[in-house]
Amino acid sequence: MRGWDHGSSVGARRGTREASRTVCGVSPSRPPRFLSFILTGAVIGFVLGAAVSVFGWFEDPNPTLASNYGSSAGIGYLGFLGAVLFGLLAALLALLIDRRHDRA
């Protein structure tokens, strides 16, 4: 049986290495950065809350009582409320992304 080598593969006889079909070198995705999500949500919420106050989208056109605070106080109150709400929503979004990341 000259010429037949039963113990080696075709690639090994030629001196080349056969390529693997598996993907190598793929790093796992990293989990979300919670602080970045929360701060971004808080900034967006503050800007939206301040915009609601400045532009008066929900302002009563015929108030029965006069207001005792200035417009800057409304910007602060609604901006803070928006920052808290959107920061919490962003934290929940980061948690959902993290949970999905753990499953994969």
Question: In this predicted structure, what is the pLDDT of residue 25?
Answer: 72
Domain limits, the chain: 31-103
Instruction: Check the CA dihedral 30-34-38-43 and report its sign.
Output: negative
Q: 5-9, 17-21, 61-65, 73-77 — which one is most confidently predicted on average? A: 73-77
Would you say the pTM of this structure is higher than 0.75?
no
pLDDT at residue 92 is higher than 90: yes
Condensed to tens digits (0 to 9), the pLDDT of residues 25-70 reads 766 677 778 899 999 999 999 999 999 988 887 777 777 877 777 7
Residue 31 contacts by C-beta under 8 Å, 6 or more apart in sequence? 97, 98, 101
Question: In this predicted structure, what is the pLDDT of residue 12?
Answer: 52
